[in-house]
Amino acid sequence: MTRTGSAHRLGALAAAALLVPALGVSLVGDGSAAAESTARRIAYTCTTPELTAQVVTEVAGVFPASGSVGAPVQSALTVTATLPETVLPALGGAKSVIGTAALGLAVGGAGLSTAVTAEELSVAATEVPEKGELKVVATGKAPALTPVKPGDLTVTATELTLTLGSATADGPPLILKCAKDDGQDAQLVKLPVTGRNLTTVPAPSGTLPVPTTGGKPLPSTGTTAPGAGEDQQLGPLARRIRYKVEGVSRIKKMESEVKIGPGEMLTEVIIKLPVGEIKGDLTLPPSKGYFVLFRFVPNNSVIEFESVGQVAGIIERGQVKATSKMFIKLRDIKVGGVPLDVGPNCRTVEPAVIDLVSAPPPPPFLPTRPTPMSATYTIPPFGNCGVTEPLDSLLTGLISGPGNTLNLTLTFLGYE
């Protein structure tokens, strides 16, 4: 992995980290068991080629209360790691870090005896103190496990790998390889499984990893194999988020600015690698505009922005690119204090297409951090304007054309 590729990957995973806790846990089992939480304090000895550090962790899991033979059991994990001050110099002066954790898990019972890895636990952007301990929190999902016999299914934490890089600059990440210290109880769950032994085992769907028993594959859980390459994708992590939207648009021909919002956008943010998605419904209130025509004639109007369809775009390499289509509608126009009756249906003959982009990293896009976005767009010609006389050409000549700018900020209001 290149240094730049590593930083971009860490940025995407940091965004995923903000979504995982809020998504809750999909527990696939007998459909009736409630979720249970467990936590263990586990000490590790972590090393790099340059240093050795004692790292204390709390590993917490959310598991179903019980499971059924043949039904995948899914769980969520949180690893809170406290790094000693001796690790700080190895971070290269980073003011904040993002990253990943990979937690080994030993699985036993219920017909299973295997080792799996929770590969993509994600660390959100965390401020690095000037001195003292650094605490990072990694969250994500464990691989789904499918019992093949009744009994007690156990999951025990084993080795840990922490990968941390600067949240605001490219550079090689710090990779800590951690071995669990001896003499600790690291069992995260002992889960009762009911049902009958599987007599036939369905063929896997082709995705990995697929646990095996007796040399035969267990039913596929649809989990993509970790470590499959640079373009490896996370299972999509989606959440509906409400944003406040406000900003300003500068109309080039009028040499004036129009305040936009505050409005709201209810979005669905889907974090995955290498390209995530964002889409949402944008609602903006009418805006009052004040312009000066011909450099001396004052003009007041109300401008409405009518969204057409959803705002839709992608999240790639820590940057958001989204397209909004809006009709621009005019009403309550006064020129020199005299009303200009444009009628109720005066608007652009087609939607303005506005391609918004956020600033390129650093820092990368995070769903809960204010996100400035900007665009340069063209205002189409106006139509259906004028009650007593046609005003389409006049308004088109005064307002329509390219080179208009829009600057908006998305501010996180909460999850839906």
User: Beta partners for 165?
Assistant: 98
Query: What are φ and ψ of residue 397, in 5° steps?
Result: -65, -35
What is the overall mean pLDDT for the chain? 80
Q: How confident is the model at residue 198 (pLDDT cuts 50, 70, 90)?
A: low
Mean pLDDT of 142-155: 91
> 3-state DSSP call for residue 106?
strand
Contact between 94 and 169 under an 8 Å Cβ cutoff? The reply is yes
Lowest mean pLDDT among 135-149, 331-345, 396-410: 331-345
Q: At CB < 8 A and 24+ separation, what contacts does 274-278 make? A: 274/12, 274/231, 274/233, 274/316, 275/314, 275/315, 275/316, 276/12, 276/15, 276/236, 276/314, 276/315, 276/316, 277/312, 277/313, 277/314, 277/315, 278/311, 278/312, 278/313, 278/314, 278/315, 278/320, 278/322
pLDDT in tens, 82-127: 999 999 999 989 999 998 999 999 999 998 998 999 977 889 889 9
Helix and strand counts by DSSP (H, E) for the chain: 2, 25
Is 291's pLDDT higher than 70? no
Report residue 370 as tokens. Answer: 């204010």
Residue 216 identity: K
Q: What is the pTM of this model?
A: 0.49
Give the pLDDT confidence score for residue 71 in this predicted structure.
87
Is 207's pLDDT higher than 50? no
Report residue 130 as tokens. Answer: 């000037």
Is 12's pLDDT higher than 80? no
Q: How confident is the model at residue 81 (pLDDT cuts 50, 70, 90)?
A: very high
Q: How confident is the model at residue 36 (pLDDT cuts 50, 70, 90)?
A: low
Report residue 247 as tokens. Answer: 């900003």
pLDDT in tens, 367-386: 878 899 999 999 999 999 99
Mean pLDDT of 158-185: 90
Check residue 220 and report its DSSP letter: P
Q: How confident is the model at residue 275 (pLDDT cuts 50, 70, 90)?
A: confident
Contact between 43 and 56 under an 8 Å Cβ cutoff? The reply is yes
**DSSP-assigned letters across all residues of 262-295:** EEEEEEEEEE-SSEEEEEEEEE---EEEEEEETT
Q: How confident is the model at residue 195 (pLDDT cuts 50, 70, 90)?
A: confident
Give the pLDDT confidence score for residue 309 in this predicted structure.
94
Distance (Å, whole) CA 363 – CA 91: 17
Give the pLDDT confidence score for residue 34 in this predicted structure.
44
